[in-house]
Structure 1
Amino acid sequence: MTLSSFATSSVEEVASTGPGIHFFQLYGWASRQLLSFVDTPRLYQIEADIKNRFSLPSHLTLKNFEGLDLGKIDKTNDSGLTAYFAEQIDQSLNWKDLKWLQMITHLPILLKGVLTAEDGIIVSNHGARQLDYVPATIMALEEVVKAVQGRVPVFLDGGVRRGTDVFKALALGASGVFIGRPVVFSLAANGEAGVRKVLQMLRDEFELTMALSGCCSLKEITRNHIVAPWDLSRIAPRL
């Protein structure tokens, strides 16, 4: 489970619900008190939020930062959360800030938002809603995996909708995938039961894909199981 900085439940509350690996998405807050992290140095334009005049309901708070001075969210703004976010994020973040974060925690740190081999290590385009025409993460994955050369795990998010998508990501070298919208949509539609159902569907589809591909274990999923668009020029003469 990956918990957002903007979550209205605390890390402790989520962790208490059951076992498993827990991630926390820490944004690049301007205040060192809020543990700045290289993730969002510039605010993206959430056009849907502005169109729908989205604002944080008055009874909800950012639970992970209770007791800290975060300022006030303008609930009269076209997108109060967006305006608030713009004021709080440090736009001057650099690699030195990441070094500082490494010095104050023993927790593993994963960089999210990778789309080239120069970056690391969660291959993500933030749902493709920050910048028009960014490449699909599955297209950038293999380049990043090759650059990493097995030194650290490489994960992927974005566009994972079927078990076959999970299979393709693993075949291209990902250690695992993160799932966002399918979980959010199923939660909105049918609560906890909806989330359980969509996760089971993905698991069943993935296991079926493995079986039909002749794979009895995760280790048997290899690059040879898929043909990517960039492979076509290489195999065309044989066709």
Structure 2
Amino acid sequence: MSQSGVVILSVEDIRKEAAKRLDRVTLNFFNDGSTDQITVLENVTAFAKYRIRPRVLRDVSKADTSVTVLGRKISFPLSVSPAGIQAMAHPDGELATSRACARRNINMGVSSFANYSIEEITKAGLTVGPIGYVMQLYTMKDRALQERIIKRAEAAGCVAIFLTADSPVLGVRYNEWRDDFRTPVGLDFPIQDKTSEMIQAQTHDDGFVAFNSDAHSWAYDIPWLRSRTKMQIWVKGVLTAEDALPAREYQCDGVIVSNHGGRQLDGVPATLDALPECVAAADGKIPIHIDGGFRTGADIFKAIALGAQCCWVGRPVIWGLAYDGEKGVEKLLNILHDEFKRCMKLAGCKSVSEISRASLAIAGQGRSLIKL
């Protein structure tokens, strides 16, 4: 039960409580997608077309939700996406998220737009327990700064880079422009060596254009990263088989099927709908992860059944922070874990490896269920 006496049972409950605590501009920044908001909505609704095929009289008394992801065993196939400016939701921002991830024993992505340094974030989690971190990067115009970020992330113990590949420019975000959104005074981007004063001097969109390079390419950026770090290199933002294939060709360590939470090009496929073709293109040669729209443990189950190794969650973590800081994020992660485990048991799965396409059906045109 929350301090206000509201019983919190689901991610939706946390979302509603967060909305009470955030001002309109901040809430729009975190929740909005681009243009007509089609993709941000369909990321969530795509799960509804699938039905779980339960199995009965199976001994699930020792059901194990754990998986090995990025070289470490985590408690269930979920990790926290790199999401920027978390201190807008709660002053502890990424520090609170880091501690909550460590307590739940899952991995965490760190945004280039974090309000705390990579060293502070990793140290916060390690005070609670072991945790795997990944550093999210854009292709930057200032290559020297990009290299410094890589070296600092590696020294701080990050195990992978998530190269965000879907953002040569920002998507059309009407409310950010109408509100003249700027990161609040007093919040820095220490990973980019940017002070609050520097950030305030530009709009959010102009700041991104000045920082980000739209001249990125498979042929240049993947080898460049490989030459500068021993961390794993993952490509984030893939929605097609045509982009999963070069990820294999350039020997990337994995792919994150993502549409940037619906914040880039509106009208692209929901990530769950794009997942099967990316899994088929990967052909087991590289792992496929996914983000976008996860709101329940059953959602996680469905993505795993369709071939994802791990799911990543972003907005709900922001809602957890806004609701109750570190405790709010911990509450969110515990809800998703418990829902996922309950779903596994009801579907008759004793381990994550038993979740497969045979666990799902989809409604056909005549509304009859078709086993995948």
Contact 2:136 2:164 in 1 (8 A): no
Partner of 1:13: 120
- In structure 2, C-alpha distance between the alignment counterparts of 1:26 and 1:142, rounded to whole Å: 26
- In structure 2, C-alpha distance between the alignment counterparts of 1:11 and 1:124, rounded to whole Å: 23
Partner of 2:9: none
Question: 1:148 deviation in Å?
Answer: 0.6
* Corresponding residue pairs, total: 232
Instruction: Give the superposed CA RMSD.
Output: 2.4
Q: Secondary structure at the match of 1:184?
A: helix
Counterpart pick for 1:82 among 198, 205, 223? 205
- In structure 2, C-alpha distance between the alignment counterparts of 1:65 and 1:149, rounded to whole Å: 36
Question: 1:226 deviation in Å?
Answer: 0.7
1:78-106 CA deviation, whole Å, 9 max, x = no partner? xx122111122111111112211111111
| Aligned AA (2:204) | L
- In structure 2, C-alpha distance between the alignment counterparts of 1:227 and 1:129, rounded to whole Å: 30
Contact 1:73 1:84 in 2 (8 A): yes
Q: Determine if the alignment matches structure 1 residue 22 to structure 2 residue 22.
A: no
- Greater relative contact order structure (CA < 8 Å, 6+ sep): 2
Q: Secondary structure at the match of 2:135?
A: strand
* More strand per residue: 2
Contact 1:38 1:97 in 2 (8 A): no
Question: 1:133 deviation in Å?
Answer: 1.0
Higher mean Cα deviation, 26-35 or 132-141?
26-35
Q: Secondary structure at the match of 1:122?
A: strand
Q: Determine if the alignment matches structure 1 residue 72 to structure 2 residue 195.
A: no
Instruction: State the identity as a percent.
Output: 40
- In structure 2, C-alpha distance between the alignment counterparts of 1:92 and 1:114, rounded to whole Å: 17
- In structure 2, C-alpha distance between the alignment counterparts of 1:3 and 1:24, rounded to whole Å: 5
- In structure 1, C-alpha distance between the alignment counterparts of 2:189 and 2:326, rounded to whole Å: 22
| Aligned AA (2:180) | R
- In structure 2, C-alpha distance between the alignment counterparts of 1:45 and 1:199, rounded to whole Å: 31
| Aligned AA (2:234) | L
Counterpart pick for 1:216 among 330, 340, 350? 350
Tell me, which stretches of 5 or more residues in structure 2 are unaligned?
A: 1-107, 148-162, 245-254
Distance 1:237 1:13, change over 3 A: closer
| Aligned 1:1-239 pairs, distance under 5 A | 1-17=108-124, 18=126, 19-35=130-146, 39=165, 40-66=167-193, 72-75=198-201, 80-95=203-218, 96-120=220-244, 121-228=255-362, 232=364
Tell me, which stretches of 5 or more residues in structure 1 are unaligned?
A: none
TM normalised by structure 1 equals 0.89
1:137-166 CA deviation, whole Å, 9 max, x = no partner? 000111111111111111000001000010
1:169-196 CA deviation, whole Å, 9 max, x = no partner? 1001101000001111111111111111
Contact 1:29 1:89 in 2 (8 A): yes
- In structure 1, C-alpha distance between the alignment counterparts of 2:139 and 2:261, rounded to whole Å: 18
1:117-153 CA deviation, whole Å, 9 max, x = no partner? 1224100010112112111100011111111111111
Question: 1:234 deviation in Å?
Answer: 11
Question: 1:34 deviation in Å?
Answer: 2.6
